[in-house]
Every structure is written in C-alpha cells, then in structure tokens.
Amino acid sequence: MDTERVNRLLREGGSPCLGRLRWLETVGSTNDEILSLADYHGAVCVAGEQTRGRGRRGRHWDSNRDVGIYLSMGWNLDGINAAGLSLVCGLAVRDALLENGVENVLLKWPNDVLLGGAKLAGILVELAGPRCVIGVGLNVTLAASPAAPVDAGNGASLPRTDLAAHGYHIDPDLLTATLIIQLSRNLVAFCREGFAPFAGRWNASHAFHGELVEIIAGDTVTGRVTGVDVDGGLRVDTAGGPAVFHAGEVSMKPLTHGR
C-alpha cells in the first residue's frame, strides 16, 4: 500500500484520520494493534496479512496475504451508547463500495456485507469503555489463496465471494481511502445523533428485509424480518408475536435467498 497516496486521498476527503494511518505487511490482528495504542482515536491500521484475525463472538478469521483488505479504526465513543454501531459501519462499507462502482451491495444483520447473495465483507466492533475499534475484512480475490478468510461460525451459512469474482478490479489504495473516509464520516454522525437517522437507509439495504429467518439466541426462533429499530435491534414477527433481537446476543440465519 502507498501510504503517502492514501493520506493524500484522506486529505482530499477531509478525514480526521489524516496522518494516523499505519501499514503493516503482517500482523496478528489489526484490531489488537489499535487496542494497544494510548492515542487510538482516529488511528487506522491496515495490513497485508493477519495471522490471528478474529470474527464476531471470538470466531477465528484467517486473512491471507494479498487476498483482501484488512483494516481497523479506533474511535472514542465518549459515553455514547454503541447500539447499532456495527450496522452504521456496514453502511459505511457499502457506501465505499458503491462509490467505487460496485453495484447491488446489500447488508446482512448485524455485521456482514453481501454481493450477489454471498459474503463479501465482515465487520467486528470491539469495545473497552469509551475505547472502540472497528475491524473490516473485505475479500478482494479469494482465488489467489486456497485458505482465504473464513468465519467458522453461523455467519458461514452464506457462501463467500470477492470483488474479482464479480469483475471488479478496484485500485486498492483508492478503496482503502474511501473506506476510511466513509467510516470516519459515519462515526462522527453516529456519535452526534445515534443510530436512528441511519435506520431507514439500513432497512432499505438489508438483503433479508421481509424474509423468513432463524434467530439463534440459545433457543432457535423462526420469524419474518420487519426491519431494525432505532437502536439497531432486529424486529422479527415470530409465532409468539413481535420480538426484537440485539446483535450481542444472537446470530441470524436466512431461510430464503434474499434480494
């Protein structure tokens, strides 16, 4: 990665992360790198390879060299309720992809980005008091590696995909800069207004809105998605009536193909 070029793009985009970018060829986890910093707010770590990457709920996420973009950003929430934050970050990733010409990008609650009905990217939000770190793993060309990134938990119910498989060959420096700009833009807005202003746009981008899903929350519940609420909770009509589920407690498995 050309860090000087990415910083130039960040300057042009007015990102508060300008000058806070660190590039590592190999790292255990980009999230851990940010969590280790005393001055973490607005800091960004991007790596060519992760050897101890992780997905949601502690699942292992291998990230091999030159098959994806592995990026983490630190942010000080300053007492803000983090409910809905992973959804806000998903919208940022979607917007960055759309800005770079990738069409028909959709979201899966609470933290996956889909292309062609398959998983293109995942988001991991980790909190420690006001300290927040957002990790993004985005598949660029899985065919380049026989052991490409995989989330071994319930999130793997969808097949994986990458940009190259859909004919997209995007300048990685430009895409990285756009991701950073969109993430920081959404984080600023989220800390000011919470999730509520994002809810309508997120619902319009959800691949499984109005469809039948399984909610795995200790017991398994089946129901039809009716949207997310102003806190980012997933609203589902179940046999027992309407219910709201929150990302920290559950996983969602689609029973239909989505849009």
SS3 letters across 62-85: CECCCCEEEEEEEEECCCCCCCCH
Q: Taking Cα atoms as reference points, which of 109, 76, 102 lies closest to residue 179? A: 102
How would you write the pLDDT of the chain (259 residues) with one tens digit per residue?
A: 999 999 999 999 999 999 999 999 999 999 999 999 999 999 999 999 988 766 555 555 556 777 899 999 999 998 899 999 999 999 999 999 999 999 999 999 999 999 999 999 999 999 988 889 999 999 999 865 544 444 434 344 678 899 999 999 999 999 999 999 999 999 999 999 999 999 999 999 999 999 999 888 778 889 999 999 999 999 999 999 999 998 766 678 887 666 6
> Where do the domains of the chain lie, and which CATH numbers do they carry?
3-202 (3.30.930.10), 208-254 (2.30.30.100)
Q: Please report the pLDDT score of residue 136 as a whole number.
A: 96
Q: Please report the pLDDT score of residue 152 as a whole number.
A: 35
Q: Please report the pLDDT score of residue 155 as a whole number.
A: 42
d(CA 32, CA 37) in angstroms, rounded, equals 9
One-letter identity of residue 106: L
**How is residue 139 written in tokens?**
């598949």
Cis peptide before 242 (omega within 30 of 0): no
Q: For the whole model, what pTM was predicted?
A: 0.90
- Give the number of C-alpha atoms closer than 13 A to the C-alpha of residue 79, restricted to the C-beta side: 0
- CA torsion 200→201→207→211, rounded to 10°? 10
d(CA 156, CA 60) in angstroms, rounded, equals 12
- CA torsion 54→58→60→63, rounded to 10°? -10
d(CA 27, CA 15) in angstroms, rounded, equals 24
